[in-house]
Amino acid sequence: MPARDLYLIAYDICDPKRLARVIRHMKGWKAAGQKSFCECWLTPAECERVLGELDTLIDPGSDRVHCLQLDPRMKPRLFGVAYSSPAPVFGIY
């Protein structure tokens, strides 16, 4: 099984209907997130799939999507009431 990496996918969608479609789409992929930022554990193939599907949901002239692969060597910096997951591995059933 290919290794999964942590990605941060951020989006700025101008139209409320497109935004609702993007939010609904990302619910199936995100492990965590707030508003228009999603943390996703993805294989390279899954990342390509997510970005390809998002490309069909947005208007490239007015919307933005950014995908950043996070470095696993970096320690998380938490502020406010944030907390880090105690387990490095997770499962979705």
Q: For residue range 62-83, list pLDDT tens digits in order.
A: 999 999 998 888 887 777 776 6
| pLDDT value of position 72 | 80
What residue ranges do the domains of the chain occupy? Answer: 5-69
DSSP character at residue 45: H
Q: For residue range 12-54, list pLDDT tens digits in order.
A: 999 999 999 999 999 989 888 888 999 999 999 999 999 999 9
pTM: 0.78
Angle (nearest 5°) at CA 72 between 30 and 7: 25
| CATH architecture for residues 5-69 | 2-Layer Sandwich (3.30)
**Is the predicted pLDDT of residue 6 greater than 80, yes or no?**
yes
Return phi, psi of residue 17, to 5°.
-70, -40
